[in-house]
């Protein structure tokens, strides 16, 4: 099995893609070490033969008709910023 | 840590009168939406989140007359095997207060084990019902993919997870399965096929002549001795009740843990992108730009295991790695499915220890995530193949360490699981 190398810089790059801040150097190093172990283990699937999956489940669809949905009050119930005149409040776009 | 830290939120909500579950108390795992009752997923991200609607299974429980007594503790977003990744602290094992209750549905399992609720709902993405059922000495059923609606279940890995019943007896778990199963217009993956018999009617039915296969891959070197002894006693017991035990091999199962984690982490990295701190969840503030506030809310709101899985999923799906990991994992999944299908031409049921180990000591897992993932070896194949499985307490003295026995059946053959499960449970 191949040993995969993962460094702190790689973890930092992934954390930017995933949009999760990881700033602490020690945490980056710990993640890097664990990721090396885990991803190296994942290499055991290298030898899996090609298999096509046969879908034996089907989508159950319904008619596209207008039905009752949540009220505006309910939708805004969980805003941390409070109900800002019926709009979601987001950060500035620069 | 009072009451083993079973509930994140306690409540008392009586259902309609006259239903088949009238007078039954139910605990609900805290990733299943309950209208006007806080639903946290065991995460700081959602510690104040109050769903404006009920999950379909909760609606069904209410109209069946069940009384909801609380929202049960769980590993954060279902990511864990111990309930220690919960923002609200670990659930303690009912038999040994130095050990974990298992996970991720640890609160649901401990609730029925200690009689805090007669029934509970858990969810199972890679063993999250069966593992804590085994560790807490109770019964847990992971239904066939599509048997139970997932509408209102807060998603972790959609293609793998199912809601399922937990209880102290197979009969109670079957009654709950009768109530929650069935098609749902709000979940296009929920099967509409009508069953012609109630699950509870399969309890106590004869198992004479039933063939049970035991794959060598699931009783290998990683199985602890005490677990193996209980498993062997349990299989002898089934033999004495007329079952025929056959050894078999399913080589694809050696790849299951890797395939499972690649797929689950990939789906998680996409699913958890909804937590941006804008519409609900912990806010990252509004002073900086989108990328910064988004990343801030997730830095503060997610615990370490969730970060680990989202990051690894992002890695597995990123340019250059997709074919090497995700596509290979899907091939492994198809292979595992095929091997199970072929196996069920030779035997009616497949059996194994649910967990290869006894409950872990508290605080023993955080530093070695891979070791923890490997302990899911016997449960994850079932989710990859979309099959139903049940965990039943094994033979032997439960006080010396609870062991679960897992039975696996072909898709939509829950009745068969209930037959063998209730046979093993008969002392």
- CB–CB of B111/B10 below 8 Å? no
Active-site option among B43, B113, B128, B191: B128
Inside any domain, residue A28: yes
Q: Mind listing the pLDDT tens digit for each residue in B119-152? A: 999 999 999 999 999 999 999 999 999 999 999 9
Looking at residue B195, its pLDDT comes to: 80
> Strands of B139-142's sheet, edge to edge?
B7-13, B67-72, B25-29, B119-124, B162-167, B139-142, B389-393, B404-408, B349-353, B211-215, B244-248
Of A19, A38, A56, the CB nearest to B295: A19
**pLDDT given for residue A90 in this prediction:** 84
The tally of domains found in chain A comes to 1
Average pLDDT over residues B372-397: 97
- List pLDDT tens digits, range B336-366: 999 999 999 999 999 999 999 999 999 998 8
Q: Decide if B375 is catalytic.
A: no
Q: Do A59 and B307 touch (CB under 8 A)?
A: no
pLDDT digits (tens, 9 = 90+) for B405-419: 999 999 999 999 999
A positions 13-72 inside 8 Å of B (CB): 14-23, 31, 34-35, 37-39, 41-42, 44-46, 48-54, 56-57, 59-62, 70
Q: What stretches of B223-368 show up as alpha helix (H) in DSSP?
A: 225-240, 256-271, 290-301, 304-317, 328-343
Axis-axis angle for helices B225-240, B414-425 (nearest 10): 100
Please give the pLDDT value at position B217. 97
Better-predicted residue by pLDDT, B336 or A81: B336
**Do the chains contact at B308 and A57, CB–CB below 8 Å?**
no
Q: What is the CA B86 to chain-centroid distance, rounded?
A: 15
Q: How many CB pairs under 8 A join A and B?
A: 154
Is residue B323 over pLDDT 60? Answer: yes
From the candidates B33, B43, B86, B104, give the one annotated as an active-site residue. B104
Q: What is the pLDDT of residue B209?
A: 97
For residue B1, the model assigns a pLDDT of 45
The pLDDT tens digits of the residues spanning B262-310 come to: 999 999 999 999 999 888 999 888 788 888 999 999 999 999 999 999 9
B2 has pLDDT over 70: no
B392 has a pLDDT exceeding 50: yes
- Our measurement of the distance from residue B84's CA atom to the centroid of its chain's CA atoms, rounded to an integer in Å, reads 15
Across B23-54, b (16+ Cβ under 10 Å) vs e yields ebbbbbbbbbbbbebbbbbbbbbbbebbbebb
Beta bridge partners of B140: B166, B391
Picking from A62, A74, A80, the nearest residue to B185 by CB comes out as A62
Q: Is residue A25 part of a domain?
A: yes
- Least confidently predicted of B29-38, B88-97, B289-298, B301-310: B289-298
- What are the tens digits of pLDDT across the range B208-258? 999 999 999 999 999 999 999 999 999 999 999 999 999 999 999 999 999
What's the token pair of residue B381? 């194949």
Which of these is catalytic: B29, B71, B142, B395?
B29
Are the beta carbons of A79 and A90 closer than 8 angstroms? no
Total-model pTM: 0.96
Does A68 fall in a domain? no
Q: Give this complex's ipTM.
A: 0.94
- C-beta of residue B11 within 8 angstroms of C-beta of residue B54: no
Identify all chain B residues contacting A60, using CB atoms and an 8 Å cutoff.
183, 185, 187-192
Residue A21 maps to a domain: yes
- Does A52 contact B48 at a Cβ distance shorter than 8 Å? no
Instruction: Tell me if A24 is assigned to some domain.
Output: yes
**Assigned domain for A51 exists:** no
A1 — pLDDT class (breaks 50, 70, 90): low
* Residues spanned by the domain of A24: 8-46
**Rounded Cα–Cα distance for residues B181 and B164 (Å):** 9
To the query of whether residue B104 is one of the catalytic residues in this protein, the response is yes
**What digits encode the pLDDT tens for the residues B41-70?**
999 999 999 999 999 999 999 999 999 999
Neighboring chain A residues of B262 at a CB cutoff of 8 Å: 42, 45
| Residue A76 domain-assigned (yes or no) | no
A78 within some domain: no
CA B164 vs CA B105, B158, B375: distances in Å: 10, 15, 21
């Amino acid at each position: 099995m191949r040993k995969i190398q993962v460094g702190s810089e790689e973890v930092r790059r992934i954390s930017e893609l995933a949009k999760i801040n990881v700033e602490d150097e020690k945490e980056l190093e710990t993640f890097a070490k664990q990721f090396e172990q885990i991803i190296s283990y994942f290499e055991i699937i290298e030898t899996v033969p090609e298999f096509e999956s046969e879908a034996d489940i089907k989508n159950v669809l319904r008619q596209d008709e207008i039905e009752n949905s949540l009220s505006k009050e309910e939708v805004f119930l969980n805003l941390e910023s409070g109900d800002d005149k019926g709009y979601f409040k987001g950060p500035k776009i620069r | 840590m009072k009451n083993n830290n079973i509930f994140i939120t306690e409540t008392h909500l009586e259902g309609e009168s006259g239903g088949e579950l009238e007078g039954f108390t139910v605990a609900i795992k805290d990733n299943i939406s309950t209208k006007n009752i806080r639903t946290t997923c065991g995460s700081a991200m959602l510690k104040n989140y109050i769903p404006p609607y009920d999950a379909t299974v909760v609606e069904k429980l209410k109209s069946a007359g069940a009384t909801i007594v609380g929202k049960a503790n769980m590993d954060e977003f279902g990511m864990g095997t111990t309930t220690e990744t919960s923002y609200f602290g670990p659930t303690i094992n009912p038999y040994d207060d130095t050990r974990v209750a298992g996970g991720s549905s640890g609160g649901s399992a401990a609730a029925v084990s200690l009689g805090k609720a007669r029934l509970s709902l858990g969810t199972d993405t890679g063993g999250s019902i069966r593992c804590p059922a085994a560790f807490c000495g109770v019964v847990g059923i992971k239904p066939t993919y599509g048997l139970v609606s997932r509408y209102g279940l807060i998603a972790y890995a959609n293609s793998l997870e199912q809601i399922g019943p937990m209880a102290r007896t197979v009969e109670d778990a079957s009654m709950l399965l009768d109530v929650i199963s069935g098609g749902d217009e709000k979940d296009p993956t929920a099967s509409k096929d009508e069953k012609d018999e109630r699950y509870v009617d399969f309890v106590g039915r004869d198992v004479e002549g039933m063939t049970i296969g035991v794959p060598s891959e699931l009783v290998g070197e990683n199985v602890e001795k005490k677990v193996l002894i209980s498993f062997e006693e349990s299989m002898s017991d089934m033999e004495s009740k007329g079952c025929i035990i056959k050894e078999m091999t399913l080589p694809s199962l050696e790849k299951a843990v890797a395939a499972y984690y690649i797929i689950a982490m990939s789906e998680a990295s996409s699913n958890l992108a909804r937590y941006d701190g804008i519409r609900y969840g912990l806010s990252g503030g509004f002073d900086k730009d989108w990328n910064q506030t988004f990343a801030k809310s997730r830095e503060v709101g997610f615990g370490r295991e969730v970060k680990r899985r989202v990051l690894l999923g992002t890695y597995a799906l990123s340019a250059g790695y997709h074919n090497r990991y995700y596509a290979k994992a899907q091939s492994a999944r198809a292979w595992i499915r095929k091997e199970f299908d072929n196996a069920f031409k030779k035997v009616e049921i497949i059996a194994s220890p649910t967990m290869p180990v006894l409950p872990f000591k508290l605080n023993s897992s955080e530093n070695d995530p891979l070791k923890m993932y490997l302990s899911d070896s016997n449960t994850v194949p079932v989710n990859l193949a979309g099959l139903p499985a049940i965990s039943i307490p094994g033979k032997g003295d439960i006080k010396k360490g609870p062991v679960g026995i897992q039975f696996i059946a072909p898709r939509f053959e829950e009745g068969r699981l209930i037959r063998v499960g209730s046979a093993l449970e008969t002392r």
